[in-house]
Structure 1
Amino acid sequence: MKTQIAALCVAACPALALAQADDQSQSQAPISTAQTMPQITPLTTPGLSPVPPSPPAYDALGVKGWDTPFPPASDTIFADMGGARSALADYGIGIVGYSVNAVAYNFRNDKTPGASYNGKYPTYFTGSQGIFITYDASKIGLPGGQIQVLLQAITSSRPDLNPTRSQGIGTLAYFQSFNNDEFEMKVGWLQLSNEFMGANIAGSFTSGTLGPNASLPVSAGFSYPGLTTPGFTFRYNGPNGFYDKVAVARSIPNQSYTESIHNNAFGLRLSFPNSGVVTLNEIGVNQPAAPDHKSFWFRAGGVYNSTQYTNFETGTKQSNYGLYALVDYQFWQPDAGSPARGLYAGASISYQPPNRNLYTRYYEARMYGIGLIPGRPADLLSFVVSYNGLSRAALGAVFPGQPTDHYSQSTSLSYSFHVARGVFIQPAIALVKNITITPHVPLAVNGYISVALMF
């Protein structure tokens, strides 16, 4: 049997894939088993690390339209070395590169026969490399517009467990804001995992995170790194942080991840025979930390996918859907001069119907602190407990006659060190119950370390 492929989260987030499955389960779209493996990424949130009172002009050229902040170019290894970024900014060009690489190992030295998962042996389970290029369209008479390109490559030492090695276009899109940013739209080839949910702890593209980040809706049609799809988004930004964001896009194909990557060439394929249309709607209230108030972010959304999925109970075909809700609140703010510093609590929940999805329920509780150690304002400490429930009907169809675990649970502790400008190291430890679907593996004590570089 082949391993299920977990959704690779945002470009700097490690891919996580643990449980075994065959191509039948793959055909239900890539499944996130990430609750059994920490997603380890660095911390780079605007305003957390020391920056000049007025951010450099090139920071404004970061990718626009995401739910989470794009990391500032001033917090990269090269920053404005030789004045290169400032010179490019004069022409409206912004560039940020990244390299994230992570390894895992089960310290219990598990020898369970037939079990295969990231960490059973020392595993380089994620390599994500890429470069973002943006162009300020106001330079050609389109104020509020931006052209966005992401070139990326995904690697690992175990492509049988993780997303297949690939390279190509991660994003090719045009962004436009209207009426003083009250409305935003984007059209092109998108990674919806970047555009919705804001699942990363601390709400940042490169914040340290653990768990699957509520990425269950990926199997309902979300596109993500490695499987970019054409579509568009539209967002309304209302008063007091309220927003409503919708998307219409081609769904990821209803076939194995490996097959999809092989058929997707350089990432710009318009249509697949086994994919329909996915629509999303997310409503939320996002109030970033400020000197006069604490951070608060609530968002909830729904995904509908017209692609036909097999009903495990009846054997018929039908469309698919997913629901999710997340909330994060800053309950301690020690320094109004650095409002993002402090302690936070959050929770996530995701649901998909069990008669057409292998993974059907996800719950997460988290606590995290930003800048808790004096003199280290950009470090992140996080503690996450997560639970992922599996469909008994799907287990019976995918693993007939085999003993299976019907849930997995993870308790994780992580610390992200902002070592230097553009350099991040994050160790983590996790107790993982039911790290595979079958065969049963004793409680895993998994260690992880990620080294991430921003250029």
Structure 2
Amino acid sequence: MAAEYSYTLMPRRKQSWLFVAVSLAAYQVDNSVLGQTTRALDPNTPAVDQATGRTAFDRAEKLRIDLAVNPPAPAPALSRGVPFEKRGGADRAAQTRTQKPVDPSARYDNLREKGVWFNIPGPADTIAQDKGGGRSALADIGIGYAAWTHNSFANNLLPNAARSPIANQLYMGQNPTFASANFLIVTYDLSRFGISDGQIVLGIEQQYSTWDRPGPNRVGLNTLAYYQTFFDRAVELKLGYLRNQNEFTGTLLGGITGSNMSALFQAGMSTNATPTPTVNLKYNFDDRLYNKASVQRSISPDGAYAHITENPIGLNWSTANAGILLVNEAGYKSKAAAGLPDTWLRAGVGLNSSRYTSFADPKQPRESSNNFHYLAADRQFWQSDAGGTPSRGIYGGLSIMGAPADVNKIGRYYELRLYAKGAFDSRPSDLISLVASKTIWSKFAVNAALAKGQLAHRDTTAITGTYTAHLAPGIYAAVGLSYIHNPTSITHTPQNEHALNLLISTLILF
């Protein structure tokens, strides 16, 4: 049986697309701006980088990807609300005739992490698959696992790039920058004991970078969660040490670019490197319309760098000055089908009781709370293989995020994106993306820099194009170029007003 699974498993391309998109996107994009934000809030470090140096580890970061938010049902479960009835021999024969062949990899669906807005690819899209039968043996006792490594490189190709000692580096790519994030997620199926869709999830993460401003190197907890559903899957409950970047918003996109969530991280949302105690509750009005709410212990109001420094393993209940973050997201999500384009609309708000330092009056004691809002939409415009793989085609999307400028370094973030999944018949699992973004910096922080006689800018603009190739089961490689006007945050020198970053990334799933 082990050999049989090894040779018959077929890639689930749509699920792989979303996971690869998020993993590469989050890891490359979100953390350069996050690095700037956390460094700006850390009184012991100078100002830092921008949203589009695009590399680092969130380790989404963002791992950050475009699948149904609802967790898949164990095969061969039927659709929600459609009970299976035993019938006479004629009916059973009719069912047998109309039943589609069972995908051998479907037995692992119930072992993937549930509650996140993406699905990690199944064994078919890994290097190991089920060679030797080890994965099957674990699945037989209810254990599933996913392991992957994401490695990336960024380098400014422009002459006179104002190279600096690593300790004084201001953005990803100013010096040739390498980063690596490695993950192991293990799940245990509780539905075998009669708990509806029940699951325990344990994840660990190791991250390393030659430039640590987005967050120091660490080995620690990624997630420790309990999940189950109620009322015929109308309600989903997930609690534990969670990283809400994988539970809300969605970084949807192919390649090494993606929706930048740093505007939300600075306002307290947890990341892959900063899991915090959380309770998430989602209500599914039907198969497409949902509302998801969260009560989360905020990450440090001084940012991810300060949070990881104080809590590197990730098991602390809280960090200094951190309060409670309330998040709510309403959305509509429909999966691609023949003649039905893939669509995801979502909007959310967050309220944070943490004690932030005010940029408007930094001499005052900490007393300011925080909040954020976001709106995002992604829509498939054209299906290139509606009858075969309907998720293949051309997509467009936008994101708008905002937070109060008096306590956040990033006041607003705008993004437009165009991307294609499986654009070429000869390369049906590849991704192409083009992303334009603008980050608006806090007017209070900008004015304070100008008052000190520093060169300062009020916004950063970036245009990034990437191509992600699926080279073999479990192996992806991406290459891209990102032009950034003002790659640093707020302050700059005449030598670092522009950057043209070469981005190279690999994702390997085991």
Measured against aligned partners, the alpha-carbon deviations of 1:245-288 in whole angstroms (never above 9, x if no partner) come to 00001000123544422321421111223100000000000001
SS in 2 for 1:239: coil
- Which one of the candidate residues 317, 329, 332 is aligned to 1:270? 317
In structure 2, distance between residues paired with 1:250 and 1:78: 37
Query: In the alignment, is residue 17 of structure 1 matched against residue 28 of structure 2?
Result: no
Determine which of 399, 403, 406 is the counterpart of 1:352: 403
Where does residue 502 of structure 2 map in the other structure?
447
Aligned equivalents of 2:37, 2:376: Cα separation in 1: 29
* Alpha-carbon separation, structure 1, partners of 2:65 and 2:359: 42
Q: 1:445 to 1:52 in 2, by over 3 A?
A: farther
1:286 partnered with 2:299: no
Confirm whether residue 395 of structure 1 aligns to residue 446 of structure 2: yes
1:119/1:446 contact within 8 Å kept: yes
1:144 partner letter: D
Cα distance in 1 for residues equivalent to 2:450 and 2:203: 38
Structure having the higher Rg? 2
Q: 1:408 aligns with which of 460, 469, 485?
A: 460
Q: Provide the aligned C-alpha RMSD in A.
A: 2.8
Residue 104 of structure 1 corresponds to 154
Residues 332-380 of structure 1 show CA distances to partners (whole Å, capped at 9, x for unaligned) of: 0122221100000000000111111111110000000000111322110
* Per-residue deviation, residues 270-324 of structure 1 (Å, max 9, x unmatched): 1223100000000000001012411110000001100021232244521100000
Higher relative contact order (CA 8 A, sep 6+): 1
1:179 to 220, 231, 234: 231
Identify unmatched segments of 5+ residues in structure 1: 1-8, 202-206
User: Are 1:231 and 2:282 matched, yes or no?
Assistant: no
Query: 1:21, CA displacement in angstroms?
Result: 7.4
Higher mean displacement: 105-114 or 281-290: 105-114
Residue type of the alignment partner of 1:84:
G
Contact 1:35 1:211 in 2 (8 A): no
TM-score (norm 1): 0.89
Of 116, 128, 147, which residue of structure 2 is paired with 1:78?
128
Higher deviation after alignment, 257-266 or 326-335: 257-266
- Partner secondary structure for residue 84 of structure 1: helix
TM-score of the superposition, structure 2-length normalised?
A: 0.79
Specify the SS of the correspondent of 1:216. helix
Measured after TM superposition, the shift of residue 434 of structure 1 is 0.3
Equivalent position to 2:265, from 190, 195, 218 = 218
Equivalents in 2 of 1:44, 1:319: separation in Å?
32
Whether contact under 8 Å (1:341, 1:371) holds in the other structure is yes
Q: Which residue of 2 aligns with 1:116?
A: 170
Distance 1:21 1:338 in 2: 40
Aligned counterpart, 2:89: none
C-alpha deviation, 1:17, in angstroms: 2.2
Within the alignment, does 1:128 sit opposite 2:143 as a pair? no
Of 384, 394, 418 in structure 2, the residue corresponding to residue 343 of structure 1 is 394
State the AA in 2 paired with 1:327.
A
| Deviation string, structure 1 residues 202-259 (Cα, Å, up to 9, x no partner) | xxxxx42415534411111100021110011000112250000000010001235444
SS at structure 2 position matched to 1:366: strand
Do residues 34 (structure 1) and 43 (structure 2) align? no
> Any residues of structure 2 matched to 1:278-317 within 5 Å, and which?
278-315=325-362, 316=364, 317=367
How far off is 1:110 after superposition? 3.1
Q: How does 1:356-375 map to 2 (within 5 A)?
A: 356-375=407-426
- Name the SS of the counterpart of 1:34 in structure 2: coil
Rounded to whole Å, the distance in 1 between the matches of 2:139 and 2:121 is: 16
SS of aligned partner of 2:277? strand
Task: Kindly indicate whether the alpha-carbon contact (under 8 Å) linking 1:109 and 1:120 is maintained by their aligned counterparts in 2.
Answer: no
Instruction: Pick one of 201, 204, 208 that aligns with 1:151.
Output: 204
Which one-letter code corresponds to 1:162 in the other structure?
P
Give the partner amino acid of 1:448: L
Q: 2:492 & 2:467 partners in 1: Cα distance?
A: 31
Shift of 1:56: 3.1
Counterpart check, 1:138 vs 2:191: yes
Q: Which protein has the bigger strand share?
A: 1
Q: Measure the CA separation in 1 of the matches of 2:406 and 2:309.
A: 28
Contact 1:32 1:215 in 2 (8 A): no
Aligned to 2:27, the other structure's residue is in SS state: coil
* Counterpart code for 1:451: T
| Distance in structure 2 (CA, Å) of the matches to 1:43 and 1:227 | 14
Maintained 8 Å contact 2:38/2:214: no
Residues 257 and 298 of structure 1: is their aligned pair in 2 closer, same or farther, counting only changes over 3 Å? closer
CA contact (8 A) 1:146 1:174 kept: yes
Structure 2 CA distance for partners of 1:443 and 1:31, relative to 1, 3 Å: closer
Cα pair distance change 1:430/1:229, threshold 3 Å: same
Sequence identity (%) = 33
Q: Which moved more, 1:255-264 or 1:243-252?
A: 255-264
Render the CA deviation track for 1:79-133: whole Å, top value 9, x for unaligned: 1112221211111100110100000111113343766322122210x21001010
Q: Which deviates further from its counterpart, 379-388 or 333-342?
A: 333-342
Greater mean alpha carbon deviation, residues 444-453 or residues 303-312? 303-312
The verdict on how the C-alpha distance between 1:31 and 1:347 changes in structure 2, with shifts beyond 3 A counting, is farther
Tell me how far apart the structure 1 counterparts of residues 251 and 319 of structure 2 sit (CA, whole Å). Answer: 28
Alignment partners' CA distance in 1, 2:177 and 2:450: 26
Unpaired runs of 5+ residues, structure 2, are: 1-20, 69-100
Q: C-alpha distance in 2, partners of 1:17/1:89? A: 38
Q: By how many angstroms is 1:184 displaced?
A: 0.3
Q: Is the 8 A contact 1:359 1:391 kept in 2?
A: yes
